[in-house]
C-alpha cells in the first residue's frame, strides 16, 4: 500500500503533513500489521514502542478491573491514532486497546512521528485539537453515563458514532458500518448486555434507529437527539 494513495491520510492526525507531502509518511512508516479480531494491540502497564494508526477495522480502548469487569472508554475507527500517549515518553499506559474486528495497522517510528507532528505550527495545532477533542468526547460520555438512563446513553453513543463515521466518509446507503455487539455497547455505557438488548428494542420500536448485520441507520435524528438530551 502506498501512503500517497491512502484515502484516510486527510483525516489522520498527520493530515497537514500528508496533504503537503504524502511520501514523508511512507518514510516514517515501518510496517503494516494485520491483527485479528479480539487481539490486544496495546497492553495496560506497558509503554508502546511505535505509533499505530488504524487503517481499516475497529478497535476499542478499555480499562480492565481486577474482578474481570471492564469499561470501554472509546472506540477507534479507520483514520484514528491508536493512542496519542504513545507519542510521548511519559508514564506507562493505564488502559489497553483491543481489536474489535480484524484490523490493519500502520506502524510508525515514534521518533520520526514526533518530528512530523511538532514540525509546523499547523501540525501542532492539529495534534492539540485532536487530543482536546478526544478529551471532550470522554468527558461527555462520562456525563452521559453518570446522569442519563439506558435509553439516553445508547441514543447519545449512536449519534456520536454516526457523526464520526460520516466525517470519515464511512457511510453506506444512508447508514454506517457498525460492528458493535450488545456486549460492547454494555461495556461502553455502564450497562449489562441484557438491558442494552431490551433498550435497543425500545429504540427500534419507536422508529428512531435500526441495526442489521454490521450496519446501523438513524431513522429520526431529531427525535433521537431529544432522547439523548432528555431521557
229 binds its own copies (CB under 8 A): yes
124 binds its own copies (CB under 8 A): yes
Range 68-87, binding its own copies (CB under 8 A): 69-71, 73, 84-85, 87
Residues whose CB is less than 8 angstroms from the CB of residue 186 and which lie 6 or more positions away in sequence, other chains included: 192, 193, 195, 196
Look at the alpha carbons of 93, 12, 41, 141 in this order and tell me if their dihedral is positive or negative: positive
Binding partner at 31 among its own copies, DNA, none, C-beta below 5 to 8 Å by kind:
none
Q: How many CA atoms lie within 13 A of 187 on its CB side?
A: 19
Nearer to its own copies, 106 or 127 (CB): 127
Look at the alpha carbons of 185, 189, 194, 199 in this order and tell me if their dihedral is positive or negative: negative
- Minimum Å gap between C-beta 226 and its own copies is 10
158 binds DNA (CB under 7 A): no
Q: Which residue has the cell 483491543?
A: 98
Binding partner at 174 among DNA, its own copies, none, C-beta below 5 to 8 Å by kind:
none
195 binds its own copies (CB under 8 A): no
Nearer to DNA, 51 or 150 (CB): 150
197 binds DNA (CB under 7 A): yes
Determine which residue in the list 1, 142, 194, 201 makes contact with its own copies, applying CB under 8 A.
Answer: 142
- 3 state DSSP class of 196: helix
- 3 state DSSP class of 84: helix
- Minimum Å gap between C-beta 203 and DNA is 10
Determine which residue in the list 201, 207, 220, 229 makes contact with DNA, applying CB under 7 A.
Answer: 201
Q: Which residue has the cell 518530528?
A: 115
Task: Round to the nearest angstrom and report the end-to-end CA distance of the chain.
Answer: 46
Determine which residue in the list 181, 207, 220, 229 makes contact with DNA, applying CB under 7 A.
Answer: 181
- Minimum Å gap between C-beta 65 and its own copies is 6
Look at the alpha carbons of 184, 185, 187, 188 in this order and tell me if their dihedral is positive or negative: positive
158 binds its own copies (CB under 8 A): no
* Whole-number Å distance between alpha carbons of 31 and 66: 34
Rounded to 5°, angle at Cα 89 from 16 and 96: 90
Q: How many CB atoms lie within 10 A of CB 107?
A: 17
Chain contacts with its own copies (rule: CB under 8 A): 61, 63, 65-67, 69-71, 73, 84-85, 87-91, 94-95, 118, 124-125, 128-129, 131-136, 138-143, 145-147, 189-190, 229-230
Chain contacts with DNA (rule: CB under 7 A): 149-151, 181-183, 190-195, 197-201, 212-213
Amino acid at each position: 500500500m502506498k501512503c500517497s494513495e491512502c484515502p484516510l491520510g486527510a483525516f489522520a492526525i498527520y493530515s497537514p503533513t500528508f496533504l503537503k507531502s504524502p511520501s514523508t509518511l511512507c518514510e516514517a512508516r515501518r510496517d503494516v500489521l494485520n491483527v485479528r479480531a479480539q487481539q490486544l494491540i496495546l497492553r495496560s502497564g506497558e509503554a508502546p514502542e511505535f505509533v499505530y494508526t488504524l487503517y481499516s477495522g475497529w478497535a476499542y480502548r478499555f480499562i480492565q478491573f481486577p474482578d474481570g469487569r471492564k469499561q470501554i472508554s472509546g472506540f477507534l475507527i479507520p483514520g484514528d491514532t491508536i493512542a496519542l500517549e504513545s507519542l510521548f515518553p511519559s508514564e506507562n499506559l493505564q488502559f489497553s486497546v483491543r481489536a474489535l474486528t480484524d484490523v490493519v495497522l500502520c506502524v510508525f517510528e515514534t521518533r520520526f512521528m514526533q518530528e512530523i507532528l511538532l514540525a509546523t505550527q499547523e501540525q501542532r495545532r492539529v495534534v492539540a485539537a485532536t487530543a482536546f477533542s478526544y478529551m471532550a468526547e470522554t468527558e461527555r460520555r462520562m456525563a452521559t453515563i453518570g446522569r442519563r438512563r439506558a435509553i439516553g446513553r445508547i441514543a447519545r453513543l449512536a449519534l456520536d458514532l454516526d457523526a464520526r463515521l460520516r466525517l470519515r466518509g464511512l457511510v453506506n446507503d444512508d447508514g454506517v458500518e457498525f460492528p458493535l455487539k450488545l456486549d460492547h455497547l454494555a461495556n461502553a455505557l455502564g450497562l449489562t448486555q441484557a438491558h442494552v438488548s431490551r433498550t435497543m428494542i425500545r429504540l427500534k420500536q419507536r422508529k428512531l434507529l435500526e441495526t442489521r448485520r454490521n450496519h446501523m441507520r438513524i431513522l429520526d435524528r431529531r427525535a433521537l437527539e431529544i432522547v439523548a438530551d432528555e431521557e
